[in-house]
Amino acid sequence: MASAEAGCAKPDPKIFTAALKKAGCDPAEAFMIGDRLDNDIIPAKKLGMKTIWVRQGYAIYQTIDDESKRPDYVVDSIDELIGLFDKIET
């Protein structure tokens, strides 16, 4: 969902809840895949979404300073997502 469509931008939780509503699923049924801890992973975790941190671009400079911010999964590239989803039990 685009921020213009939701009327807000990440990390505002409204954009995540609007996307969940549009998808018709609960947070526990959804994955947030993002490359930023602050804009993608942390707000999604707070809502109860599963999270996948793609450590590329700016993300390679970010560090996890609190266990509550730790993503559920970490990959180093988008290419790794297919193999990851094959391993994840939903």
What range does the domain containing 41 cover?
28-87
Within a domain: 40? yes
Residues above pLDDT 90, as percent of the chain: 59
Is 6 domain-assigned? no
Instruction: Give per-residue pLDDT as tens, 34-57.
Output: 999 999 999 999 999 999 999 998
Q: What is the pTM of this model?
A: 0.87
Please report, for the domain that includes residue 80, its CATH number: 3.40.50.1000
Interatomic CA distance for residues 54 and 48, integer angstroms = 19
So what's the pLDDT on residue 37?
94
Residue 80 located in a structural domain: yes
| Stretches in the chain below the pLDDT threshold 70 | 1-4, 89-90
Q: Is the CB of residue 27 less than 8 Å from the CB of residue 45?
A: no
Identify whether 45 is part of a domain. Answer: yes
Q: Look at the chain and report how many structural domains it folds into.
A: 1
Closest CA to 51 of 12, 2, 4, 88: 88
- CA dihedral sign, ordered 5, 60, 82, 72: negative
pLDDT of residue 11: 87
Residue 51 falls inside a structural domain? yes
